[in-house]
Amino acid sequence: MKNPSLNKSAKQTDDLEIIVIPIEEGVLSIRGLSPKRIRFELEYALERGSTDNCFLFRDSDDSMNDDSAVLVHPPGAIYADVFLPQIVNLVPNPNTVLRVIVGHVNPNRVKLLRELKKLYPNLELISSNPGAKLLKELWSFHKPKAPGDKSEILTIELPFPKITVVRHEQDFIINSQYQLRLIPAATPRWPGGLLAFEEQLGLLMSDKLFAAHICTTDWAENNRSSTEEERRHFYDCLMASMENQVANIVEKLEELDIKSIAPTHGPAIEFSWRSLFNDYRKWGEGQKQAFIKIVLLFASAYGNTATIADALANGINQTGVRVEILNCEFTPANELITAIQEADAYLIGSPTLGGHAPTPIVSALGTLLAEGNRDNLIGIFGSYGWSGEAIDLLETKLRDGGFQFAFDPIKIKFSPDPAMVKTLEETGTLFGRHLLKTKKAIQRRKAESMSASQSDPAIQALGRIVGSLCVLTARKGKDNKALTGAMIASWVSQASFTPPGLTIAVAKDRAVGALLHCGDYFTLNVLAEEKCKEQMKQFLQPFPPGANRFLGLQVDESPHGQPILPKALAWLEGCVKDRMECGDHWLIYAEIHNGKVLDSRGITAVHHRRTGANY
């Protein structure tokens, strides 16, 4: 494979840009670049931009009259203004038979496929069986109009393209030089998943698998550690709740003679893909070991309900409770029944379409009413455009059926904004914590563990390590869109002289952990012994999801806009440089950029413990 970093060509509109990276003769990578955060889903929360990668196979790089071409994993319509002119430039003959291999399917991507159909009347689609079903449903689907809106929908009805359905793994010959192996890779989140492997190049076009939201013009990552945080974040947000299906796909991919992996988002992985496979297995181990399981049932027309599901699942996963996510539209009845019978709690979410819940959700609701355990807690959620009858239906049926609700029904108009995504994540965390505390089996295990810990001399000795009492505060974003968080911290230690740095241990289920990724700023407010009680009371109280931790407090700002508690003994402003996973905590290393002693006569408050088994 030639050096793909050379000979890039680009087209740009506003903040979006398209670059073309030659891979081999007749093979091009077409990469959409978005340096800014373009969506508010949880997986974009690191705010490092993103890329949308697709691949074009044609007879030769310099042929301008190809009668056929193959496009793998085209982007969504957000890139249409820069992507479509580039395609026309690369495939100028409108009579070309453009075959498009479609992996994950959503309305945004179908909108771009419709535009391609206008440009290339001989457009042909290649998809998995579930993908074909979604493509046909969304091709002529229109969003519901507002109540009372009698205006006509002016849309050019395009004939649905010829489609080839891939039901099992099969080879697809492009030309005399290249051959693709198409591999269906269905998951609940992306039932239409379809991977493409070019055998001569050893190039796996992995769609959503192994992706990372980071904007880069480089073809491949420099090394494994350069994108590890972004790939782990993507996994935690979207893959963890599908661990079984993802692990099965990864195992199948081990049989391929892979040389490099190119996902839909982020740079390619060339030399460390085996390490990434191992990481996917390691990251999924926590799910396997969890002894409480929530089954999450959903359907999503536009992706908004799926976004809510992702945020709730991610919050729950942080507590060590397992979430098994099932897409009701593509889950066999026997699998659905088994999952419900084996679950310790339930979540069910639905969009409202034309004033109704989708048929698969109505069917799943009936199964849940028939098979669900009334001693298990349940939560319901959904998105809507102009009404929310589907969520009302779920609530009425489940309350009448004797189910107890873990939280008030979540009803969100269209797509959740960043503040709501954070609230949803905190709602999931609160739900997971509640299950851990109330389940009798969990209480017994916890009591036995605590008993053993109290008598373990090593654990008792560990408790004699003391730490200063601090309040960690963080803010991300500006004005009314800012996300804030805070927590009491006592596992704090200076870590370096040059540059000055410290480490802080943050439990995985702490909401503020989402604001402590590499590059994020925070302040560490060191408490004074004689003044700490009031501040401890403020930040140790239980906060409802989405609550303002600083309500009623006087708060100053650090140079980078981080909250400072003026009654603290001292404050330090740090920038996160590294995160290390340590059991049930993240260890955060930060370089100190600013700080000040506010009370030169005060004495640092210290936290004394009798055991190392708890705080």
CATH of the domain at 198: 3.60.15.10
Residue 536 and residue 387 share a domain:
no
Residue 166 and residue 69 share a domain:
yes
Give the pLDDT mean for 163-183. 91
Residue 298 and residue 279 share a domain:
no
Residue 476 is part of a domain; what is its CATH number?
2.30.110.10
Give the highest mean pLDDT range of 40-44, 403-407, 548-552: 403-407
pLDDT of the residue at 288: 79
Amino acid, single-letter form, for residue 611: T
Residue 429 and residue 464 share a domain:
no
Give the Cα separation of 564 and 571 in Å (integer).
7
Q: What's the total number of domains in the chain? A: 3
Residue 173 and residue 216 share a domain:
yes
Of the pLDDT bands very low, low, confident and very high (cuts 50, 70, 90), residue 332 is very high
185 or 37, higher pLDDT:
185
The number of beta carbons lying within 10 Å of the beta carbon of residue 315 is 29
CA distances from 240 to 96, 452, 487 (A): 41, 31, 26
pLDDT of the residue at 62: 47
Structure confidence by residue, pLDDT tens digits, 459-478: 889 999 999 999 999 999 88
What range does the domain containing 109 cover? Answer: 9-142+157-285
Give the pLDDT mean for 353-358. 91
Which of these ranges, 149-153, 344-348, 381-385, 503-507, has the smallest mean pLDDT?
A: 149-153
Residue 318 and residue 466 share a domain:
no
Residue 524 and residue 554 share a domain:
yes
Q: Is the dihedral of CA 198, 56, 227, 288 positive or negative?
A: negative
- In a domain, residue 503? The reply is yes
- In a domain, residue 257? The reply is yes
Residue 374 and residue 311 share a domain:
yes
Name every residue whose Cβ is closer than 8 Å to that of residue 419 and which is 6 or more positions away in sequence: 481, 483, 546
pLDDT of the residue at 64: 46
pLDDT of the residue at 150: 58
- In a domain, residue 152? The reply is no
Give the Cα separation of 229 and 447 in Å (integer).
35
pLDDT of the residue at 285: 86
Q: Is the pLDDT of residue 438 over 90?
A: no
Are 190 and 104 spatial neighbours (Cβ–Cβ below 8 Å)?
A: yes
Residue 211 and residue 85 share a domain:
yes
Pull the structure tokens for residue 335. Answer: 């699998």
- In a domain, residue 580? The reply is yes
Amino acid, single-letter form, for residue 153: I
Residue 133 and residue 26 share a domain:
yes
Give the pLDDT mean for 135-158. 69
Q: Is the pLDDT of residue 450 over 70?
A: no
Residue 243 and residue 323 share a domain:
no
Residue 304 is part of a domain; what is its CATH number?
3.40.50.360
pLDDT of the residue at 61: 47
- In a domain, residue 2? The reply is no
- In a domain, residue 69? The reply is yes
Are 340 and 371 spatial neighbours (Cβ–Cβ below 8 Å)?
A: yes
Residue 521 and residue 429 share a domain:
no
